[in-house]
A = this chain, B = another copy of it.
Amino acid sequence: MFKIDPRSSTPIYLQIVEKVKENILKGILELEEKMPSVRELAKMMTINPNTIQKAYAELERQKVIVKIRGKGTFVSADYNGKKDEERMKALKDLFKKGIVEARYLGLKKEEVINMIENILEELKGDK
């Protein structure tokens, strides 16, 4: 389902969170679609269920998915567009870090913009 790198420094559960969000944007996971259960996904990915559990909890906290008792877990119908100030700051920091790294890799301004545009393209839709 999602490619996970167990050697990465970012925890597995966060990798899952990112991949889920990415797949939703790409349309691979559709809105309101049912997510695999924790156990199911754990088996599919041969990952500790506790880890999946933690990922789902985080996704629910971010309102990306919704748990409905007795029915299962679903992709949230609408992703909230409220501009949480803290998250905005974190986002800017993230980009800054990326751009600093880009500079140290010798990338020019245009190359960076290009890279960004490619990724934007990759995540279909413009909403």
Point out residues on A near B: beta carbons under 8 Å: 6-7, 11-12, 18, 21-22, 25, 61-62, 64, 66-69, 71, 79-84, 87-88, 90-92, 94-109, 112-113, 115-117, 119-120, 122-123, 126-127
Closest to A109 in B: B120
- Does A11 lie within 8 Å of B115, measured CB to CB? no
Partner of A7, one of B6, B68, B103, B106: B68
Per assembly, the copies of the chain total: 4
In the complex, the answer to whether B69 meets A11 with C-beta atoms within 8 Å is yes
A79 contact set on B, CB distance < 8 A: 103-104, 106
Assembled-state Cα–Cα distance A98/B101 (Å):
14
